[in-house]
Structure 1
Amino acid sequence: MQSNYNINQTTLSISLDYIPEENHPAIYINQLVENLSVKYHYQFGRPREYNLEALLKLVLLAYSYGIFSSRKIERFARENKPAGWLIVGQIPSYRTICRFRISDELTALTAEGLENLTLFLRKNNMIDNVSFIDGTKILADANKYSFVWKKNTLRFDTMNREKLVELLGELHEANLIGQVPEGSDLNPELLEDMINKVENHLVDLDQKVKETPKISPNPAKQQRRHLKAKKRILDQRRNKLIQHQRQQTIYGKRNSYSKTDHDATFMRIKEDPMLNGQLKPAYNLQIATSNQFITGYQIFQNPNDTRTLPIFLHQLKRHHTLGKTIVADAGYGSESNYRFCEDELNEHTALIPYGTMLRENSRKWKSDDRKVMNWNYSEIDDYFIDLHGIQFKFNTYRQRTDKYGFKRDFKEYVAEKYD
């Protein structure tokens, strides 16, 4: 018998309770968010239209499906039954979802949720007490040709200041402004005062031109034309000075940033198919894992993994997600990181090799007589003897400070002199 399909058929709607099937991601997301201590911080104005817990459940479920657009998340909430079960049929607009995704509240809830998830996994013996640290570069949503380099900014700022000193000297020789004290810092406030003095002279020249309209050529007009050109150049130099100061504020401790995303730094990323090493705007994502579960993450603007390790370990320790054993690759090996682990994390064991560890254990390295570690050493008298029998005696202690302020101690050995 052929079935009668009619979408416009009048039917009697019966409301039935929907519950996702067992082991559905919505069940675990609901349990995770319900265990969070979600607080509502508002004293005045109208209360929130949507519950923070419901928004967090919706966003987490959409992310698990690979949906990251606010408009698509709104459509997902309207059409997906597990999503509708999580938000109890209250569909937020894409604007509400977008505001929630960029809010500080989501950052705090995500950190607390990851901490609770780690404690749950550790309680059920699903992860061990080892934290594996690694990092990767993620491409920023910015134009790859919008780079601004710090070295160029410093170079252009130096050139601009030299031109400003020359221009102010010309104006001083023309008795238009006072002499700038030697060694004074050129700042926008000082240049603004100079521009005001030039404008006062332009007012006087305008008055002279009005008083002598029939003189040709008029010296006052020539002086005014020349002074207007100087003022225009002075305005441009001042604007460039302000621009360079603003750029240096954006740089911070970085060497570059993107014009369309000031937080992004230009780094070398791995997904370039042509392998041409092109720098692109990106972020350095540090991740801690245990038994293939992510137990912590942090995003950095620094492309070097070595400088990110102390800050990242501090965060993991603060959120109680750091294991007793810390494992990382040679990219994190440095004297500063080793000293940090010994001083700040003495209850933890760090397994971090240094850069030349594998090469030092090779047969070629151990048979190379040019390496100092292969020379004969006398611990009692503190001297080395090289391949040719020359003795290198201890001379003095040295200390070097790198650009980050870390101090390294060295021992200097000097070879004995022969005729």
Structure 2
Amino acid sequence: MNFVYEDSVDPDDISRTVKEVVEGVNVFKFIDFSHRNSYGYDGVKMLECVLLAFALNGYASTRELEDLCKYDIRFQFIMEGQKPSHMAFHRFIHDDLRMSAEELFVEFNRYFESHDQIQTDILYIDGTKLEANANKMTFVWMKATKKFREKRWKKIMGRLMTFNAYCKQEGIPLRFSILKEFSFEYLIEITDRIREIMNRQGIEEKRGKGQRKHPLQRYLEGFEEDADKILKYTEYYQIADGRNSFSKTDHSATFMHMKYVYYNHTNVFKPGYNVQMGSSDGYIRHVHVSSDANDMNTFIPFLEGYHMSYGEYPEKTPADAGYGSYNNYSYCKEHGIELYMKYSGYRKEQEKLSDKNRFKSYRMKPNEDGEILCPAGHVFTLEWEKTNTKGRYPRTIKFYRNEHCDGCPFRAQCTRSGNGRTLMYTEKLDMYQKEVRENLETAEGKELMKQRSIQSEGIFGQIKQDYEYDRLWRRGETGVKLEILLVSMGHNLRRYHNRKQKSKVKIQA
């Protein structure tokens, strides 16, 4: 009786667009339905329901999916009257979509490319921070952990010295060496040896109030507490993996500065993820989820993932000043990507020369003779240069000092150093920044940056403001990536449907 539902759904409804896209893509190539029971729900129809719900609502929980299949005629049309439970949708998303969502996302984008005009050589990149599904007060700060760990070890060393003195006084043939490094195994060995002596002497461990504990039992409990603390701190270091913080309820989430509108509070720390999105003509082309709050460090992994998905690099990647760095520029030059990413001092350089900014370092560049002059006309002297190999690409840094600061009338405005004004200069970075300025000052560059604001920030505005999706629901980097991919697929389906309807109206007109 599916014709009853089909007649009730408008021919131009988005549900028919979702069915068109899913049926136009070979989903069996990416999703293995062989493990599903023969009497279970059809996997393709379940996928259509999930994508339709995300396209309509921005985000949909499994409970909402269950209700939509009961009361929405469009979902009844897709499921042919069947009403899956929320657990059926949970099993489908967790078991069938979890590992194949990214490949499916790319295949849908290839379908959109073949049925719509998308300028894929331009990729507008922007990032946003989304709050994780983790309690705010479950943070672990690694700087504090390091301090507590060192204090605990000093306490352990003090306890060891008093324990050795006690053993010598009581004639117990036991002595432990004082170690200067952290060792959980050493603490376990200490507790085992103390327990052996207590058993040999017939000392019973007493519990509860009013029970007088033997000194050996007190030492044993103290060392056991120390072992638990050291083990906990070791686990924290393994979980953090170089980060400065994490949440106890979502170990992959990092505490980041987030915008907070209520009463205009700012500098609010919340556990979250840094979500990077690249878009072309309003379609989300690639997604990267990171625990690193700095956009500069996510640029190269983002483009590596894009290349892995599509087999090519974009020709232009317009982005804001958060992405402009020596490593990112070098990566773009290596892979033939034109430089359209601003750098941190770009906006300041566009300001008119004044007494306030004439002494800034970005105003002092080498002239045609390769000399760097200060505002008073004195030449900087090259003192030393070194090659920095910490980043992905080595760079040569030159250190300059001005030896003419004594007696200069502008010294108070220029520097407070007693040894004269200093500068650090990287010639290659200056060349990259010059190329960026030239590209952005052209008519094409101005249009690209204008479109970047419209498209990249517009997508985040639609997702976060229009559809009120500003907080993650799944935990862990894998679960968050799955959730963001589903939200992105829903956005792309809406975009494709709207453009298809507009083209129909133009043809009819």
- Normalising TM by the smaller chain, what interval? 0.7 to 0.9
Q: Distance in 2 between matches of 1:43 and 1:233?
A: 56
Secondary structure of 2:327's counterpart equals helix
Give the SS at the match of 1:196: helix
Instruction: Name the amino acid aligned to 1:206.
Output: G
Question: Residues of 2 paired with 1:289 and 1:365: CA distance?
Answer: 39
* Residue aligning to 2:46: 55
TM-score (norm: length of structure 1) = 0.82
- Which one of the candidate residues 296, 301, 323 is aligned to 1:311? 301
In the alignment, structure 1 residue 202 sits paired with structure 2 residue 191: no
* CA–CA distance in structure 1, aligned partners of residues 203 and 351 of structure 2: 87
- Native 8 Å contact 1:250 1:262 kept in 2: yes
Distance 2:355 2:3 in 1: 76
Looking at structure 2, the residues matched to 315 and 250 of structure 1 have their Cα atoms a distance apart, in angstroms, of 24
Cα drift, residue 375 of structure 1: 5.0
CA distance in 2, matches of 1:199, 1:412: 62
| Larger CA deviation: 350-359 vs 163-172 | 163-172
Give yes or no for contact 1:360–1:366 (8 Å, CA) kept in 2. Answer: no
Residue aligning to 2:92: 100
Whether the 8 Å contact between 1:38 and 1:109 is mirrored in structure 2 is no
Q: Does 1:153 align with 2:145?
A: yes
Alignment correspondent of 2:55: 64
- Name the SS of the counterpart of 1:385 in structure 2: coil
Return the offset for 1:118: 2.5
Match of 1:138 in 2: 130
Query: Cα offset for 1:69?
Result: 2.2
Residue in 1 that maps onto 2:325: 334
Match in the other structure for 1:391: 379
- The 3 A distance-change label for structure 1 pair 55 and 400 is same
Alignment pair present for 1:292 and 2:282: yes
In structure 2, how many angstroms separate the alpha carbons of the residues matched to 1:255 and 1:232?
Answer: 31
* Backbone CA RMSD of aligned residues: 3.2
Equivalent residue, structure 2, for 1:10: none
- 1:340 and 1:47 map into 2 onto residues whose CA distance is 50
User: Which runs of 5 or more residues in structure 1 are unaligned?
Assistant: 1-13, 210-220
Q: Is the 8 A contact 1:131 1:326 kept in 2?
A: yes
Q: Percent identity?
A: 23
Matched to 1:62, the amino acid is: A
Greater displacement, 241-250 / 107-116: 107-116
Q: In proportion to residue count, which structure has more strand?
A: 1
Following superposition, the deviation at residue 299 of structure 1 comes to 1.7
Alignment partner, residue 227 of structure 1: 216
The verdict on how the C-alpha distance between 1:228 and 1:181 changes in structure 2, with shifts beyond 3 A counting, is closer
> Which residue does the alignment assign to 2:182?
186
**Match for residue 247 of structure 2?**
258
Go from structure 1 to structure 2 and tell me whether the alpha carbon gap of 1:377 and 1:111 turns closer, same or farther (over 3 Å shift): closer
- How far 1:251 moved relative to its partner? 1.2
Per-residue CA deviation, residues 326-373 of structure 1 (Å, 9 max, x unaligned), is 111111111111112122x22x32310101112112213698442455
Partner of 1:18: 5
SS in 2 for 1:276: coil
Match of 1:78 in 2: 70
**Once structures 1 and 2 are overlaid, which stretch shifts more, 138-147 or 107-116?**
107-116
CA distance in 1 between partners of 2:404 and 2:326 (Å):
33
Quote the residue 1:212 is aligned against: none
**Secondary structure at 1:370 match in 2:** coil
CA shift, 1:41, in A, is 4.6
Output aligned runs, 1:274-289, within 5 Å. Answer: 274=263, 275-289=265-279
Q: CA deviation at 1:414?
A: 3.5
1:29 aligns with 2:18: yes
Q: Which structure is larger by alpha-carbon Rg, 1 or 2? A: 1
**Which moved further from structure 2: 260-269 or 301-310?**
260-269
Equivalent residue pairs, number:
388
Alignment partner, residue 412 of structure 1: 399
